[in-house]
Amino acid sequence: MKHILVVDDSPTIRKAIRRILEQLGHKVEEVGDGQEAIDRLEAGGRFDAILCDIDMPNVDGLAFLGALPNHPRISPPPIIMCTTHTSFDKISLALTLGASEYIMKPFDGDIIASKLDACGVT
């Protein structure tokens, strides 16, 4: 069982991802934006992976990735970005900022499992 943090402003999306991850046998925690994720990590939260939306109010996924180097106590696990963007611009930026993988919405359990596996989280 792996411990995974889900970062998304939509409670509905978080619930759907939680359901998929729990069916895959993982423990899940949820937060609503990038700042909450940073706070959780700064407080000592240890995760095997993070699934993070790109578009969120307050601190979005790209700002979250960009802020991580400013927090030396955080050693982030693999980060998989979730997006509805079909343009590669934001995806490319996310990968440049340190994301390990990305998932296009909508997705299913097979896609999430394959991305986790690609990141070494099995």
| Pairing verdict, β 101-104 and 49-53 | unpaired
pLDDT tens track for 12-60: 999 999 999 999 999 999 999 999 999 999 999 999 999 999 999 999 9
Query: Residue 78: is the preceding peptide bond cis (ω within 30°)?
Result: no
pLDDT tens track for 71-95: 998 999 999 999 887 778 989 999 9
Phi first, then psi, for residue 75 (nearest 5°) are -115, 90
Residue 116's pLDDT band (cuts 50, 70, 90): very high
Residue 100's pLDDT band (cuts 50, 70, 90): very high
Closest-CA residue to 103 (of 6, 23, 31, 19): 6
pLDDT of residue 85: 75
